[in-house]
Amino acid sequence: MKFAKITAIEYELPSQSLSNEALAQQFPEWDVAKIFGKTGIKDRRIVAENECASDLAFKACEKIFASGVVERSEIDCLILCTQSPDYVLPATACILQHRLGISTACAAFDYNQGCSGFIYGMGLAKGLIETGQVKNVLLVTAETYSKYINEGDKSVRTLFGDAAAATLIQAASEQVALDRFRYGTDGSGAESLIVPIGGSRFPASLNPEPEVRKDGSGNVRTDANLYMDGAAVLEFTLKRVPQLFDSLFDENFTLQDVDHFVFHQANKFMLDTLNRRLKLPEEKFVREFEHCGNTVSSTVPIALKESLLKGSLKEGDMVVCVGFGVGLSWAACTVQF
């Protein structure tokens, strides 16, 4: 029997930065200290006007190949998680396969999942590998939420950054811990985190100049922009994530077996509130978003990679990964390197 394991992670950030100082100049009612105190973020990376999620994805994947851990010819499945594809169709994964020079004997497809997307993708990769369908999966997460954000909306502009991550998941003969997958969905909360205009339900072509509105907090947006009901998302998170987290453990797997907890790196307030509820050891609770912001589906792989680079995450360590957000959806699993 074959087992699935992570063998490499790389990520790519845009060169352009959006600092708290720049945001404070635009929104003087929020000074630098207030922005950092609420979000825990100092800088967000933002793509250029002509730069897409696939451009970041390409660079992250090229880092995998440059490392020598796998040859292009060995990749037989490319999975891309993105909510900001290059086109409505075809799938951006197909374009990325060609651009990377990967064999045409390779499955390639997109899935649109957002904040829980990395865990969903690892579950897909595990299933494909352990049923013998493929051997080497390149799991890519890539988002450019900045393209959906109104510059006058500080509620989301202070949080989100653009990024891509590439994770190589391969077949292994030994049993390793890419396991204990748990999933959940509550589509009744879909409107809590949404871009209303742009799909088939409300095509952009039918509303080329959507109304500009200002909410009670002074945030400016249109229905073509990203909208987040922060209170509703927080309520959902505090209801669902502790239940999800508790479902991972039993008499064969306890909190003491875990070396690191890597949650979706939403923002400081969200993670602080969750950790107070779950009472996890702070030294095991990973935080890696200060210099990139909330990068949606890429937050967990970026946090894993940074932990590897810093040496805090070592071979053999057991990690619990948790994703939650847009959908509304949630997922968790265990990973051992």
The reported pLDDT for the residue numbered 304 is 98
Residues 193 and 327 occupy one common structural domain: yes
Give pLDDT < 70 ranges for the chain. 1
The reported pLDDT for the residue numbered 55 is 98
The reported pLDDT for the residue numbered 62 is 98
Residues 162 and 306 occupy one common structural domain: no
Catalytic residue, chosen from 106, 115, 321, 333, is: 115
Task: Please count the CA atoms within 13 angstroms of the CA of 130 that sit on its side-chain side.
Answer: 15
Rounded CA separation 206/200 (Å): 10
Residues 188 and 84 occupy one common structural domain: no
Residues 166 and 28 occupy one common structural domain: yes
The reported pLDDT for the residue numbered 1 is 66
Residues 14 and 141 occupy one common structural domain: yes
- Domain containing 225 — which CATH number? 3.40.47.10
Residues 152 and 236 occupy one common structural domain: no
In the annotation, is 291 catalytic?
no
The reported pLDDT for the residue numbered 10 is 98
Catalytic residue, chosen from 77, 264, 267, 333, is: 264
Among residues 131, 150, 175, the one where a domain terminates is: 175
Residues 21 and 157 occupy one common structural domain: yes
Q: State how many domains the chain has.
A: 2
Residues 121 and 81 occupy one common structural domain: yes
Residues 64 and 163 occupy one common structural domain: yes
Host domain of residue 231: 179-336
Among residues 138, 160, 175, the one where a domain terminates is: 175
Note the pTM of the prediction, 2 decimals. 0.96
Among residues 159, 175, 191, the one where a domain terminates is: 175
Residues 133 and 214 occupy one common structural domain: no
In the annotation, is 264 catalytic?
yes
The reported pLDDT for the residue numbered 231 is 95
In the annotation, is 115 catalytic?
yes
The reported pLDDT for the residue numbered 208 is 84
Catalytic residue, chosen from 150, 219, 267, 294, is: 294
